[in-house]
Structure 1
Amino acid sequence: MGLMNKQQKPQLLSKIATGNGHGEDSPYFDGWKAYDENPFHPTNNPNGVIQMGLAENQLTSDLVEDWVMSNPEASICTPEGVYDFKAISNFQDYHGLPEFRNAVAKFMGKTRGNRVTFDPDRIVMSGGATGAHEVTAFCLADPGDAFLVPTPYYPGFDRDLRWRTGVQLLPVICESSNNFKLTKQALETALNKAKQDNIRVKGLLITNPSNPLGTVMDRTTLRTTLTFINENRIHLICDEIYAATVFGHPPFTSIAEIIEQDTDIECDRDLVHIVYSLSKDMGFPGFRVGIIYSYNDAVVNCARKMSSFGLVSTQTQYLLAAMLADEAFVERFLGESAKRLGQRYRVFTGGLSKVGIKCLQSSGGLFVWMDLRHLLKEKTFDSEMELWRMIIHEVKINVSPGSSFHCSEPGWFRVCYANMDDRAVQVSLQRIRAFVLQNVEVKVPEKRPCWQSNLRLSFKTRRFDDIMMSPHSPMPQSPLVKATT
């Protein structure tokens, strides 16, 4: 008996707990680990890794801080608000505070230009968009069923929708030849392949604005998706968590606008569901405010029961209900957020263009889809990973390789630019330029360009070994990349 115990140890944990469903071995998460081990700080650790793999919006934190200081009664943890402490701390209804659901519904309409309204009774809370996606998957699909997802897509979906539900994600291949735009042909190809493989497809998941592309789906594409899901009787899940991060053209169009305004298109509303959160638009990822908005009554009822596993704290609901109900603040916040995101986008992409790096043209999100295909030794994903490892460990910037987003073409990288201050942006641009200009002599006008500052390098007829004298670019020469101007 003792010998048997030594040879056959019992399985103490579940298959889910011991499996690889979380996807933590992805380069997407590996980059975070590199940052955690050696984080950049302008004075304490100037040669550390700069975090550009995290899609956080910190550009408007000062506006929120000012509002909180001016409205202390909105918190039950202040002398001005403590009189509501007992009532709020004892509230347990998983429907949520009525004033919170009303405020969120109104805010969702505001972020969509007030072109559509949302019913507070269809607002279901969850612990961030992560929890909202998992609950939605539980409601719509059984283990082994699948959702179609256009590529490239957010790596966290592999965790959020698959890990504990047993649901599969099947890629809908989109390509750079048309700027990764979703087409009817791509949808039909993916669906037909699933049928050939005897996989039951229960829905289509789209992200609008796109993560990682930063692009906004036009009305024609949204109509195509509605027609597709209606013809095939599958669900449509629309992740709209970046709705208020749009800073350019085209403007954001919600799927809610299509089904309510385009009366010429056939649409079974029971098939349409929206996932939203305040993590990106407001910069509140730590508050864990996720929203499921479904036009299907059965889904609303089921999701509300399941929300018990990931409710938003009533303290958070209470604070945000007051903040989002302040129309003057919301108006100013959304306008200033779009302005600052647009400015940061132009500064960052403009800096990259100085050394010949192009990005996919975008108008939303907190990131750019950077094209480094010309820096690959070979047009392979192995070469992409080699380049990515150099960027992480030598250039010391955490960016995310396209392969972790299931991109079908090697050489694309997602770079986040809204989670840092202006100084860190300039240091990151300096490092990227130094990397690209390795062993390259670059001529610039004698007059100092206006885009240069004391934190940027002047590359005038300088070689890479000279550039490497910068304390912010601790990178040795490497034969991996031979860039040309």
Structure 2
Amino acid sequence: MKIVRDQERSLTIISGVLFAASAWWTVKKHREGKERRLRNGRSLRISKRATESNISTRCQQRALSPAIPYLESFLLGLQYPYDPDHPDGYIPLCVAENKLATDLLAKKLMQPQTASTTFSDDSVYAYNSFLGLPVARQAAAYFFAKRFLYPHLPSLSIEKALAAISPDSIGIASGAAGILNSLFFLLGDGGDAALIPRPYYSAFDSDMSLVAEITPFGFSLARPTQGPTESELDMAYLEARSQGLNPRFLLLTNPNNPLATIYRPEVIRDAIIWARKRKMHTIVDEIYALSAPQDTFQSVLRIMDGQLGDDVHMVWSLSKDFGASGLRVGFVLSGNKDYINGLSNLNIFGGVSNPMQVIVAELMTDDKFVDYYLEESSARLRNNYQICVQKLEEMVLPFVPAQAGIFVYVDFSAILPEKTKEWEAKLCQLFIDHARVILTPGDSMREQMPGMFRICYAWVPPEVLRVGMERLSRIVAKIRRLDWGDLNENTLSGIL
């Protein structure tokens, strides 16, 4: 407006209306030219750096940043971890992995007959459908029918399971990240956007943008634990459109990460109906589905009576519920035949090895073991959760009561001198430097309220979790007693 007023004073012979239009057009073209020059300059600088380091500009722009912002801190913790011989070691509570029942899975997979059965099959040595071996896709169909679609039918037969879920609707790829990458790449185009309720898992950004060039568009909810309402979805859609984006996807995580809450079935159903009206795809990531009580959680498979159509896609993997992220086995259920066919070609670059598929097929159809594993894993998760929240209650720190998952979302904002992302980062660093406890900061999960942290309580055994929570209790007590300006090596001693 100042530009307009200055020019009105100097060009009085031009009418206000014509002048305003002329000035607006001039400023617009000037800004566009400036932005174009800046983009060209950045492109030239990036191209120069890429040439100097012998990599592509694509790599410079998208592939060099870590998929999770807190990866560096996590790797630091792995270099000198806590144990009885290193009582001052780091305790990472920032990675959402269930390591509490790894011994059960390892015992199962290390049985001699597992290797004998796997490697005596000639098919594991040869090319096959890159969607997955028939035995693996059939096993997955049975598993999802029994555990997700009909969890209330313990005696479900294989015949009924395969009639309810066709193996042809299942794809297998290298982890949930590989599945998500394929969905975004095969169903969207560069410039499309995915709407995601905040806060959300930070690696989603990389999953959709690194290869598929889909833009993540996070949006806030009035009640994050309840899921998005129709009006909130409308607002997010219109805001994305106003920024020149084409909303193509709605991405929901249920149970939610990092909130560890479960969406009601009607929330999922209404969101799908909303997305269908706009010809959008709904992706439901259910990677924590079996780390939830079955009487409170309902899979999108059950909500939609097994009929996902060609625009709803369910994602799951072994990474969380079975604590086996290193096996790199992810699944997708989709009624979109073109997507499934496309995945077959894309999986040339990211499929799962045939021996691993045979092993996983045997695992998923061993009802006795899966029942035992899930029951024991749930008991161990409940124990660690109680250790965690009991200490949080003693510390008088608000948290979101977990309904599922392997983490708890905690509000540390009361001990920040100012509620800003900068002070959240400083608090996070204090935890690392002086308590040697590594948490997931809310800012890394696109949280809008500074001071929120995720504690992944299933990454360490109970005795180590107790040490980590006690360290947090001590440093929080010191921060409350002292002025932030007085926090230093001396005043923060005695925490370890």
- Please indicate the TM-score interval, normalised by the length of the shorter structure: 0.7 to 0.9
> Are positions 1:299 and 2:335 aligned together?
no
Shift of the alpha carbon at 1:465?
Answer: 8.9
Classify 1:201/1:468 alpha carbon distance in 2 versus 1 (closer, same or farther; 3 Å). Answer: same
1:35 paired residue number = 77
2:56 paired residue number = 14
User: CA deviation digits over 1:432-469, x for unaligned, max 9?
Assistant: 1111222779xxxxxxxxxxxxxxxxxxxxxx999954
> Are positions 1:217 and 2:263 aligned together?
yes
Range that drifts further, 330-339 or 227-236: 330-339
Measured in 1, the distance between the counterparts of 2:49 and 2:81 equals 44
Query: Which amino acid in structure 2 is aligned with residue 210 of structure 1?
Result: N
1:51-130 pair list within 5 angstroms: 51-69=92-110, 71-75=111-115, 80-81=116-117, 84=120, 86-112=122-148, 114-115=150-151, 117-130=164-177
1:184-263 pair list within 5 angstroms: 184-247=230-293, 251-260=296-305
Measured in 2, the distance between the counterparts of 1:272 and 1:285 equals 24
Query: Which amino acid in structure 2 is aligned with residue 203 of structure 1?
Result: F
2:446 paired residue number = 406
1:24 paired residue number = 66
Shift of the alpha carbon at 1:65?
Answer: 2.8
TM-score normalised to the size of structure 2?
0.81
Contact between 2:225 and 2:262, CA under 8 Å: does it hold in 1? Answer: no
User: CA deviation digits over 1:105-155, x for unaligned, max 9?
Assistant: 222233326258432111111111111110110111111111111110111
Shift of the alpha carbon at 1:329?
Answer: 0.9
Classify 1:84/1:181 alpha carbon distance in 2 versus 1 (closer, same or farther; 3 Å). Answer: same
Shift of the alpha carbon at 1:86?
Answer: 4.5
Shift of the alpha carbon at 1:247?
Answer: 4.1
Range that drifts further, 324-333 or 11-20: 11-20
Measured in 2, the distance between the counterparts of 1:294 and 1:123 equals 7
Classify 1:143/1:330 alpha carbon distance in 2 versus 1 (closer, same or farther; 3 Å). Answer: same
> Are positions 1:44 and 2:85 aligned together?
yes
Shift of the alpha carbon at 1:98?
Answer: 1.7
Shift of the alpha carbon at 1:213?
Answer: 1.0
Which residue of 140, 147, 160 corresponds with 2:194? 147
Measured in 2, the distance between the counterparts of 1:396 and 1:9 equals 36
**Structure 2 runs not aligned, ≥5 long:** 1-46, 152-160, 482-488
Shift of the alpha carbon at 1:97?
Answer: 2.0
Contact between 1:27 and 1:400, CA under 8 Å: does it hold in 2? Answer: no
Measured in 2, the distance between the counterparts of 1:317 and 1:8 equals 44
- SS of the residue corresponding to residue 316 of structure 1 reads helix
Query: Which amino acid in structure 1 is aligned with residue 83 of structure 2?
Result: P
> Are positions 1:333 and 2:333 aligned together?
no
Measured in 1, the distance between the counterparts of 2:63 and 2:128 equals 32
1:137 paired residue number = 184
1:167 paired residue number = 214
Classify 1:146/1:388 alpha carbon distance in 2 versus 1 (closer, same or farther; 3 Å). Answer: same
Give the count of matched residue pairs: 430
- SS of the residue corresponding to residue 149 of structure 1 reads strand
User: CA deviation digits over 1:150-176, x for unaligned, max 9?
Assistant: 11011101111111221101112124x
Measured in 1, the distance between the counterparts of 2:118 and 2:476 equals 56
Measured in 1, the distance between the counterparts of 2:125 and 2:67 equals 39
Classify 1:83/1:124 alpha carbon distance in 2 versus 1 (closer, same or farther; 3 Å). Answer: closer
1:379 paired residue number = 419
User: CA deviation digits over 1:164-208, x for unaligned, max 9?
Assistant: 221101112124x56463222221111001122221111101111
2:10 paired residue number = none
Shift of the alpha carbon at 1:9?
Answer: 7.9
Query: Which amino acid in structure 2 is aligned with residue 186 of structure 1?
Result: E
Query: Which amino acid in structure 2 is aligned with residue 66 of structure 1?
Result: K
Shift of the alpha carbon at 1:268?
Answer: 7.6
Measured in 2, the distance between the counterparts of 1:418 and 1:424 equals 10
1:379-458 pair list within 5 angstroms: 379-438=419-478
Shift of the alpha carbon at 1:68?
Answer: 3.1
Query: Which amino acid in structure 1 is aligned with residue 335 of structure 2?
Result: Y
Query: Which amino acid in structure 1 is aligned with residue 263 of structure 2?
Result: M
Classify 1:44/1:16 alpha carbon distance in 2 versus 1 (closer, same or farther; 3 Å). Answer: farther
> Are positions 1:368 and 2:397 aligned together?
no
Measured in 1, the distance between the counterparts of 2:335 and 2:119 equals 38
Query: Which amino acid in structure 2 is aligned with residue 60 of structure 1?
Result: A
Classify 1:257/1:82 alpha carbon distance in 2 versus 1 (closer, same or farther; 3 Å). Answer: closer
Shift of the alpha carbon at 1:408?
Answer: 1.4
User: CA deviation digits over 1:370-391, x for unaligned, max 9?
Assistant: 1111111111111111111111
- SS of the residue corresponding to residue 270 of structure 1 reads coil
Contact between 1:124 and 1:307, CA under 8 Å: does it hold in 2? Answer: no
- SS of the residue corresponding to residue 19 of structure 1 reads helix
Query: Which amino acid in structure 2 is aligned with residue 401 of structure 1?
Result: P
Contact between 1:245 and 1:338, CA under 8 Å: does it hold in 2? Answer: yes
Measured in 2, the distance between the counterparts of 1:172 and 1:369 equals 18
- What's the C-alpha RMSD, in Å, of the aligned pairs? 2.6
Which residue of 378, 382, 406 corresponds with 1:342? 382
Classify 1:268/1:243 alpha carbon distance in 2 versus 1 (closer, same or farther; 3 Å). Answer: closer
Contact between 1:31 and 1:399, CA under 8 Å: does it hold in 2? Answer: no
Measured in 1, the distance between the counterparts of 2:410 and 2:395 equals 13
Classify 1:155/1:123 alpha carbon distance in 2 versus 1 (closer, same or farther; 3 Å). Answer: same
- SS of the residue corresponding to residue 177 of structure 2 reads helix
Shift of the alpha carbon at 1:309?
Answer: 1.1
Classify 1:316/1:9 alpha carbon distance in 2 versus 1 (closer, same or farther; 3 Å). Answer: closer
Contact between 1:376 and 1:383, CA under 8 Å: does it hold in 2? Answer: yes
Measured in 1, the distance between the counterparts of 2:232 and 2:354 equals 43
Structure number with higher helix proportion: 2
- SS of the residue corresponding to residue 308 of structure 1 reads coil
